[in-house]
Structure 1
Amino acid sequence: MSLVDDRGVAVTLTQSPRRIVSMLPSLTETVCALDACERLVGVDTWSNWPAAAQSLPSVGGLEDANVERIVALKPDLVLLAKSARVTDRLEALGLKVLTLEPRSMKDMERVLGQLGRVLDREAEAVALWQQLDTSMDRVAAALPAGARGKRVYFEAGSGPYAASASSFIGETLARLGAINVVTGALGPFPKLSPEFVVRADPQVIMVGDRNAVALAARPGWERIDAVKSGRICVFTPAQGDVLARPGPRMAEGAGIMADCLKDKFK
């Protein structure tokens, strides 16, 4: 088979791979959700779901991939993010590389279909996407009217980096009837100035526990509606993993965000 990856490179496979190294948690989770977890022989540092992934050899991350360890695992395919620095080196060593980095729901559907082809699980991929889509609709339908139409700021990382309306997180918020204060025109995950958020004045702030500690101490943030009203949802590391990965747990992530909105606007 031949397919074009996220670099725009045509990748040809003579057979469905049996030994796969996955260097992105969302791809690890998707491979396992397509009932091909047994084909994984190595994963990146952050791949911690499902439980089967935790027992696999760790080969580092985007910035510190252990090339020697990857080669030693003798993979017939390495799944990488487009932003990975090690792609050219792995290809130079003769390894087959496929870069896939979903950033929107449309990307997720496409990547799921591509992995379905690669793994000879095309029917399963279609069924999984339909299940995800239906489950997210179900979560949205259960959200009370009083929790809809709220201005939300979702902080995706220190910087601060936000999840804009064009990211899969922003698209999930839109399905929940929320108004993302960061427009999609800025890119899926733009780096913002703290003043931007002050001017946007969100009614709800969603943030991981690592970034929440000094939130109120940021200059001017005490004037933000969400801070004044205490409408800040702080996610645990486990919840943060679910929310940050465009994969088979996206409906669970929608549920986490819906619970936040329901709690803050009872």
Structure 2
Amino acid sequence: MTAIRFACVAAVAFAVYWFGLRGGGCGAPGAVACPAPELEEGVGVTLNAAEVCRAAGYLCDGRSSFQVARWQLDKGKLRVRVRLPEFVDEKTARQIRDAAIEGIMEWDGHPFPLVLDTGEFTYRFWDIGVVWSQGLYSDNAGVAHAGGAADGKRFVFAVDSIAVVVPPIAGAGPLLGPTSDPAALRAQVKATAMHEMGHALGLLHSDSEDDIMFPQFRPGATQVRVSGRDLRTVDALYALPNGATVH
């Protein structure tokens, strides 16, 4: 009887993990459709660069040959963990987080539905976590730690985190520096989170300042939104066999 009870408890625990904590994969309600197997088994496949790059935005810019590296579509959704920054008061922290969320959600549906986890504590597993820090603005204001490796014919892509640097805010703490205009601060945080989320999806830099993936943020000049070219590029990336070589 004890063994049967233990087996039942184990089965329930596994079901809670699989359907609750883990979340549904492709084909589940609100998730992307399951891809054809060949779209996720591209390792060892070579694609013609002239054909791939013709309508791929800036996907091929500056690269004569590269490996397709992106999230596996059979994940279905991407879960993004966005906690409050801890170095400012709660009201300011919520404004900063809201700005970052606005930026991240610009990519919603390209290709994945993005599921946000904003609670203080979580029992779910997330794919991408936002890491906050504070400092003077630089061209490296945010960093996405991405990587991947081949597993047979499949390419397994992962992102450790995206880092969003918040400029100093006067009055938000005893050690913080000069103030920024609140609207300008929100725009910079939104743009940084948006840019780094693009990297987290697998994009590199654009060659045009009209795109959010341009490598420099210029206050008052950078358009704080994802451009049509940004979306064409990410959509083109996810239409290619994952792990394939473009040459």
TM-score (norm 1): 0.24
- Return the structure number with greater helix share: 1
* Higher RCO (CA-CA < 8 Å; seq separation 6+): 2
TM-score (norm 2): 0.25
